[in-house]
Structure 1
């Protein structure tokens, strides 16, 4: 007879939960440490007030590097597809993104585990950067984890769509959620006077939706 009750999770489940939590906490700590360091440097507490500029120059996503611009180092046109996601435009930008990561990340990890989360997160990060590189007409760098976060949102909505379709439930809640995301982007773009990388959000969302269905295409009542 098992020593665990039906209400108490097994040892394997608890270990998996700790690993999933550690992954999210690790991502949040990395982004938080980077932004806190740059914020302190901005205020002259540590290092140099030029640190943020250097971080953006070497780690931000620059569309021009996909064309005729000369990189600061040979691997920059490739590395920037990943490095931009760990930089932010300020402490508030970082904090909002990390709260979103914690919320959506737990849902994705519960559905597909650590490997599925990693694939989805990286695919959305790459897709967001790719869309920005193709669609944006700017001389400014793009930074932030929002491409990956919109990918997580796209994945969650894709699975919600599949689950509802499988159970023959109404699909309106999914369409409404997508509509709200579009409206939110329009409002944010207007409020920020056009200084928002909607291209990254779009690319991340579409990549997340697509890869979510590749990672776990089955509805929740499938065998």
Structure 2
């Protein structure tokens, strides 16, 4: 008599497709750059691939300021708002961003939905870059997924903030993660020049948190209810 086989349960919950796509893009770009720098692909010119990508697809506050002053908005430069999160300065720079994106992206996509998670990632990246350009006069190019990932941290913080409000707990605890990360940035700045990227990251967090008032489950319905009551 055959025994019924127990249902198969994967040891790791599958990632939402949108998170997988973002992972493949970021990891694919970094893999090509790392292999090129190691001399395994692309020949001698591959050593300059990373700087070329930063120049062609990274975000420049100076270029954005020029567009504002001239009132001209070429698509090739507007595209930088969307492309800069997929370029990183080193393998480690990319690896940390990927790990954070996988963990936070999975949580946001499962709770809010994949479209909301993608919107959070993209719009937080844009918000971080705009803050970097408008609040600073820094000639250093902005690259890396961190402002977008910090937007996902904003999403995580919003969900925790809402849950704590429902249980009557102290809501400021929802901001412990961003507080720790900003604290680590401050400590690290005592030993090395960390630059002004933290401005874009903090702006990404604020953007992500604010977007959740629309994107989080049930929030849009609350807004519509309030509008009908007026």
The TM-score with structure 2 as length reference comes to: 0.79
Aligned residues, how many?
204
Query: Hey, what does 1:168 align to over in structure 2?
Result: 168
Aligned 8 A contact 1:60 1:87 in 2:
yes
**Alignment map for 1:1-223 (pairs within 5 Å):** 21-47=16-42, 48=45, 49-68=47-66, 74-195=74-195, 197-216=197-216, 218=218
Q: How far is 1:191 from its partner?
A: 4.0
Identify unmatched segments of 5+ residues in structure 1.
1-7, 9-16
Larger radius of gyration between Structure 1 and Structure 2: 2
Task: Quote the RMSD (CA, aligned, Å).
Answer: 2.6
Q: How far is 1:119 from its partner?
A: 1.4
Aligned 8 A contact 2:50 2:89 in 1:
no
- CA distance in 2 between counterparts of 1:135 and 1:172 reads 26
- CA distance in 2 between counterparts of 1:74 and 1:84 reads 16
Aligned 8 A contact 1:63 1:133 in 2:
yes
- CA distance in 1 between counterparts of 2:192 and 2:19 reads 28
Aligned 8 A contact 1:86 1:145 in 2:
yes
Aligned 8 A contact 2:16 2:114 in 1:
no
Q: How far is 1:92 from its partner?
A: 0.7
- CA distance in 1 between counterparts of 2:163 and 2:182 reads 22
- CA distance in 1 between counterparts of 2:163 and 2:16 reads 25
Q: Secondary structure at the match of 2:41?
A: coil
Distance change (3 Å), C-alpha of 1:129 and 1:218: same
- CA distance in 2 between counterparts of 1:58 and 1:217 reads 38
Q: Secondary structure at the match of 1:139?
A: coil
Identify unmatched segments of 5+ residues in structure 2.
1-6, 8-12, 223-230
- CA distance in 2 between counterparts of 1:99 and 1:175 reads 20
Q: How far is 1:117 from its partner?
A: 0.7
